[in-house]
Amino acid sequence: MAIKAGERMPRGTLKKMTKEGPKDLSTDELFKGKLVVLFSVPGAFTPTCDAKHLPGFVQLADQIRAKGVDTIACMAVNDVFVMNAWGKASGVGDRIVMLADGNGDYARALGLELDAKGFGMGTRGQRFALIVRDGLATHVNVEAPGQFKVSAAEYVLGQL
């Protein structure tokens, strides 16, 4: 069952790249006491994700943070090295935290996994955006198949 607004975020561990190399990041570290926008893409470097989804959050990061958001995080079922390379290639700098859900465990915990085997991509995460206040999902925006509307940076900015 997919997470709904008003529910607590499940516990889990994601990975992020640091200067010292890959590091585990618990969801407690990510969400506790913070206002977080977590958006998920089916895959790094894939067409809509690379051309629209991530760039939208990079472009609007300052406006989103001005609404009190502590962290903007991008999650994908990719490894930490791919997420790091995509962040560098997209010029995210310190505006977006690039999070790897390498085995899709967190996407599954959210109930937002995606069967992308038909595209040769295995199991991935759906395209979505969540607004999370101190571990509580206040907004859950999950895209319909093939759509890109409710998880876009502009839409999320309007909800803050």
**Residues with Cβ < 8 Å from 77, sequence gap 6 or more?**
42, 43, 101, 102, 103, 104, 107, 122, 123, 124, 125
> Is the distance from CB of 152 to CB of 40 less than 8 angstroms?
no
Taking the C-alpha atoms of residue 65 and residue 110, their distance in angstroms, rounded to an integer, is: 24
Catalytic residues: 49
